[in-house]
Structure 1
Amino acid sequence: MSTLELQNTSSNGAAASVAINASELVAAAFEPGASLKKLKRALFSVGFLTLVMDLAIYFYRSPGGVVFGHHRLAYYLTLAGIFLAGAAEVSTAWWLSRSSGQARDHRRTTLARTALCCSLLPLVVVVALGGFSVLVKS
């Protein structure tokens, strides 16, 4: 079982870290017989983590670097897009948990699997923008 640990150290030396069970996320996204409950939990976890990291970057990190150092509007628009993606992930997980009916389980499972796979891009972008370091523990 591998665990991803995201760490961020601020300028004053304080460190924050979040651990994610990567094998559980991969199994939920790509396992053919994954349950809808496991997919919803994984989608909510990734979406909530994306939202929290995006808000932390928005409030505590100013734009910098080659691209965003001169284009502050692009930086904040990127953060707004990531926030909307995270909110869509969390709301999709909530909607999937509230809807019922066994007849549509296959369609909802496919939707949850697709949303979970697509949610990795905003997570990777927010990790890159925030200066988080990713540690893989086996």
Structure 2
Amino acid sequence: MEFMAVLVNILALISEACRNAEKLPAALISCGVVEAAVAISLAAFKAPGGVFEHHGKAPFYLYYGILVGVAVFGFAEAWAGFWVTGDLTGRRAVGKTILWVSILPLVLVAALGGFVFMR
């Protein structure tokens, strides 16, 4: 499946999870796994380009630092999905907060080169 289709499906799942609390753990787990997988694949298969090259070592390390941070956040988000499953009514607010915060790493991964996989 193309990255754009996966991104649209994840965003639809986030939207549904905000209206229906029973879909919250599935949204957290799948969004976290997709974020981590895309960040790891970008770090492994795509070299930094554009603004990240020809400006010294700091942007180079920033690129990989962002990807490592997004991967760690993705794994933490997936773990939070399993944690929310234990007590859905009591942990719903925490799960929704994590889900809304996860939109930023999703946008970062897409901006750093996730659209390259569309070719």
Query: What TM-score comes out, normalization by structure 1 length?
Result: 0.70
- Which aligned runs of 4 or more in structure 1 are off by greater than 4 angstroms? none
Letter paired with 1:90: A
Highest CA radius of gyration, 1 or 2? 1
Q: Which of the two has greater helix per residue?
A: 2
Letter paired with 1:112: G
Q: Tell me how many residue pairs correspond in the alignment.
A: 111
1:51-90 alignment runs, 5 A limit: 51-66=36-51, 68-69=52-53, 70=55, 71-90=59-78
What are the ranges of 5 or more consecutive residues in structure 1 without an aligned counterpart? 8-16
Q: 3-state SS of the aligned residue for 2:9?
A: strand
Contact 2:28 2:78 (C-alpha < 8 Å) held by counterparts: yes
Structure 1 residue aligned with 2:16, among 4, 27, 30?
27
Query: What TM-score comes out, normalization by structure 2 length?
Result: 0.80
What are the ranges of 5 or more consecutive residues in structure 2 without an aligned counterpart? none
Question: RMSD over aligned Cα, in angstroms?
Answer: 2.2
Query: 1-side partners of 2:10 and 2:96: how far apart?
Result: 17
1:2-21 alignment runs, 5 A limit: 6-7=3-4, 18=6, 20=9
